[in-house]
Amino acid sequence: MPHIFPFNEFWAFYLLFGIVISAILLASLRTFHTTPKEVTIREASISALSWFGLALLFNVILFAFTYFHLNSKPSLAAELGGTAGELARRTALEFLSGYLVEKSLAVDNLFVFIVIFRFFSVPKENQYRVLFYGLFGALVLRAVFIAMGSVVMDISWVVIGFGLFLIFQGISVLRGKEPEIHPEKNKLLILLRKVLPVSPTLDGQRFFTRLDGRLVATPLFLALVFVEITDIMFAFDSVPAIFGLTKEPLVVFTSNIFAVIDLRALYFLLLAFISRFHYLGIGLSFVLIFIGVKMAFLDEFLHYHLPTEISLLVVLSLIVGSIVISLLRKPVTAEEEPKA
């Protein structure tokens, strides 16, 4: 199936997008975080709303760009089975759906960040630095994942396999069998400690410091490494999930990047409130199952492409519904469970 934005024609767009996003991030670091300090709720709110606004603005630009691009290539629009207006609208909805799914699935990262920072005793004023530099690693890793996905997702049995994988993951989360994060048991970190000298204490915001004349890593660097490891783990779920909503690699890449960037701001904003969304995990498990069913059965076996509007409505209903239930209903504790 042809793509609206084939990589060999739009590689410069990927490069320009990466440069612009990196420039904005570096500018924000130099402007607002020149000295170590704890991120306030006000700062986190402004950052989260700013990135959300940029994502919506980009979606409008994407809609217009898709429309004019397909208008100039009516044969491509006909091959894709729609008019320029219809395909531009579908592309914009796919971006919004991918952005929403990635942001929702990445909520689990917030809990992992808490575990990592507690384990490595990272003070709140240094957490932004770890998440900021971890973000650049995440951008590169996500780009590699998406590039690989754009190649293999054109193979039908791979799509079915990823769909079944998402269904399995969703059921596992629903049954409470989601893998736990234990930094002290991670084999890569154990190996890293053996080959890389590590100082016993932090040295401000430095990732490396001098100890007895030797250059050694600080626990802050190990926290950064573990942030990258966990991002790889979560990308195995989120990237195939977005490919289940759109076949356009450019839409997958841009929606994924905007959602991951925004997550760093949301970490500080939701840190005080995330524990209240105790049913969100159940909603996210159904999101994975829904997208998995769509990939493995609706799109492949039944040869039926579910309209993007319906996919977006289902995903949004599951996420918002689980949040509303969390706010209205307290979690059932072990003491409150009915006895047989």
Residue with tokens 């076996």: 301
Contacts (Cβ under 8 Å, ≥6 apart) of 242: 98, 101, 102, 251, 252, 255, 256
Q: Is residue 203 part of a domain?
A: yes
Q: Is residue 335 part of a domain?
A: no
Contacts (Cβ under 8 Å, ≥6 apart) of 165: 240, 292
pLDDT digits (tens, 9 = 90+) for 203-251: 888 888 888 788 888 888 888 888 888 777 777 777 888 888 888 889 9
Q: What is the DSSP string of 196-235?
A: S-B-SS--TT-SEEEETTEEEE-HHHHHHHHHHHHHHHHH
Q: For residue 320, is pLDDT > 70?
A: yes
List the domain range (segments joined by +) for residue 200.
Answer: 28-327
pLDDT digits (tens, 9 = 90+) for 149-189: 777 666 666 777 877 877 887 787 777 665 555 666 667 67
pLDDT digits (tens, 9 = 90+) for 48-81: 888 889 999 999 999 999 999 999 988 888 888 8
Q: Give the Cα separation of 195 and 214 in Å (integer).
A: 14
Q: Is residue 21 part of a domain?
A: no
What predicted TM-score, i.e. pTM, was given to this entire model? 0.76
Q: Is residue 20 part of a domain?
A: no
What pLDDT is attached to residue 31? 66
- If one counts the domains in the chain, the total is 1
Q: Tell me the mean pLDDT in the region 252-274.
A: 77
Q: Is residue 6 part of a domain?
A: no
What pLDDT is attached to residue 36? 63
Q: How far, in Å, are 276, 277, 288, 338 from residue 335 at the CA level?
A: 19, 20, 30, 8
pLDDT confidence bin for 305, thresholds 50/70/90: low
Q: Is residue 334 part of a domain?
A: no
What pLDDT is attached to residue 337? 46
pLDDT digits (tens, 9 = 90+) for 78-113: 888 889 999 999 999 999 998 988 887 776 667 677
Q: Is residue 332 part of a domain?
A: no
Residue 93: which H helix or E strand, with range?
Answer: helix 84-105
Q: Is residue 339 part of a domain?
A: no
Top-ranked range on mean pLDDT: pick from 73-77, 125-129, 140-144, 268-272: 73-77
Q: Do 183 and 119 contact (CB within 8 A), yes or no?
A: yes
